[in-house]
């Protein structure tokens, strides 16, 4: 059966708001309200609540601009200040007052400054210690680097001196002249004389040890036999020979060589440079090229030092 237009549509009904409270409270309502207010006033707030109220009141006061009837605002207005202007002559000056920093701990005045000073001192000490450690590390690394350079230079110096001796012996064989082992040390160039001297001293030391170990007189020390009729071989067989087999002990190799001592007193870098120059001037040889050039110009060689050949 079709609905009539006069029937109410319950799905689209709009209900009126709940009845409002009476404009005038009754005596019972007033009594209940006063009782709640009295209970609220009589209840002691906790410490956290009091602190929260104080913070809220302070923030509210700081967020509120000075009213125009404020005495301080009137004094500032006489000087040309307007609400919202910056504080000062500059346009980019602050427009809000400096915020309050509330001291919440129990430390005395100046304690924070003292703590800050001690913290800065500790930080500065740590910074200086780190700086010293870094400098010491840098010095250590620099020292290690210098030691590596010296070891490399000593190796190059030994190679250069060995090459100088080899080239000298080669030239001597071609000319038919004595080699380095057959000439006096004073005739050898100072750049590589020390190498030959050390080798001769080492050989002499080995010869001394060998003669001492093989000498019958050192093994069987006896007095010389008075019988002069025995020949030399008989005295030797009987251990009566007073003439020792070793003769190198009597010829000490410790003669002075001031020129060599002066050269050895130079740094390893200076000795290496002088030896390299000697090879180039005397034999037209470059240690780092590993080549003996045909002419004194040495065309194609980049330089004297190893750094020139990088």
Give the model confidence (pLDDT) of 81-117 as tens digits: 787 777 767 777 777 777 777 766 676 766 677 778 8
> Is residue 291 within a helix (H) or strand (E), and if so which, with residue range?
strand 291-292
Mean pLDDT to the nearest integer, 119-131: 85
Kindly state the tokens that stand for 228: 């002069």
Residue 123, pLDDT > 90, answer no
Mean pLDDT to the nearest integer, 238-245: 50
- pLDDT of 251 reads 47
Could you tell me what percent of the chain has a pLDDT over 90?
Answer: 16
In a domain, 193, yes or no: yes
Distance CA 279, CA 286 (A): 7
Distance CA 109, CA 146 (A): 57
In a domain, 259, yes or no: yes
The SS3 assignment for 245 reads: coil
In a domain, 95, yes or no: no
In a domain, 185, yes or no: yes
- pLDDT of 72 reads 84
In a domain, 75, yes or no: no
Is residue 269 packed enough to be buried (19+ CB in 10 Å), middle (13-18) or exposed (0-12)? middle
Name the residue among 278, 259, 288, 7 with its Cα closest to residue 164: 278
Would you place residue 160 in the very low, low, confident or very high pLDDT band (cuts 50, 70, 90)? very high
In a domain, 150, yes or no: yes
Would you place residue 143 in the very low, low, confident or very high pLDDT band (cuts 50, 70, 90)? confident
Would you place residue 293 in the very low, low, confident or very high pLDDT band (cuts 50, 70, 90)? very high
If one counts the domains in the chain, the total is 1
More confident residue, 81 or 124: 124
Distance CA 257, CA 254 (A): 9
Instruction: Tell me the average pLDDT of the chain.
Output: 78
Which alpha helices (DSSP H) does the chain contain, by range?
27-42, 47-63, 71-78, 111-175, 190-214, 216-219, 232-238, 258-264, 268-283
- Host domain of residue 226: 127-309
In a domain, 234, yes or no: yes
- pLDDT of 154 reads 92
Would you place residue 245 in the very low, low, confident or very high pLDDT band (cuts 50, 70, 90)? very low
Note the residue count of the chain: 310
Would you place residue 157 in the very low, low, confident or very high pLDDT band (cuts 50, 70, 90)? very high
Residue 59, pLDDT > 50, answer yes
């Amino acid at each position: 059966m079709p609905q009539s237009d006069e029937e109410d549509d319950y799905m689209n009904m709009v209900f009126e708001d709940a009845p409002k409270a009476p404009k005038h409270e009754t005596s019972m309502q007033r009594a209940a309200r006063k009782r709640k207010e009295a209970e609220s006033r009589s209840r002691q707030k906790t410490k956290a609540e009091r602190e929260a109220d104080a913070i809220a009141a302070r923030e509210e006061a700081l967020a509120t601009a000075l009213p125009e009837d404020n005495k301080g605002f009137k004094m500032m207005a006489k000087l040309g200040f307007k609400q919202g202007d910056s504080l000062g002559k500059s346009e980019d000056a602050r427009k809000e007052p400096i915020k309050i920093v509330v001291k919440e701990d129990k430390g005395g005045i100046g304690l924070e400054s003292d703590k800050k000073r001690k913290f800065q001192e500790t930080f500065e000490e740590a910074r200086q210690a780190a700086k010293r450690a870094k400098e010491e590390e840098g010095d250590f690394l620099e020292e290690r680097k210098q030691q590596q350079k010296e070891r490399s230079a000593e190796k190059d110096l030994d190679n250069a001196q060995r090459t100088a001796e080899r080239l000298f012996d080669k030239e001597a064989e071609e000319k038919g002249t004595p080699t380095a082992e057959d000439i006096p040390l004073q005739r050898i160039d100072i750049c590589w004389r020390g190498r030959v001297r050390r080798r001769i001293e080492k050989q002499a030391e080995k010869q001394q040890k060998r003669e001492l170990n093989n000498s019958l007189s050192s093994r069987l020390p006896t007095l010389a036999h008075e019988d002069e009729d025995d020949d030399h071989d008989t005295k030797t067989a009987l251990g009566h020979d007073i003439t020792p087999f070793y003769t190198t002990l009597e010829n000490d190799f410790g003669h002075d060589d001031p020129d060599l001592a002066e050269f050895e007193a130079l740094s390893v870098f200076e000795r290496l440079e002088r030896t390299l120059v000697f090879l180039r001037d005397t034999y037209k040889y470059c240690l780092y090229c590993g080549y003996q050039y045909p002419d004194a110009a040495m065309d194609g060689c980049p330089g004297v030092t190893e750094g020139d050949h990088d």
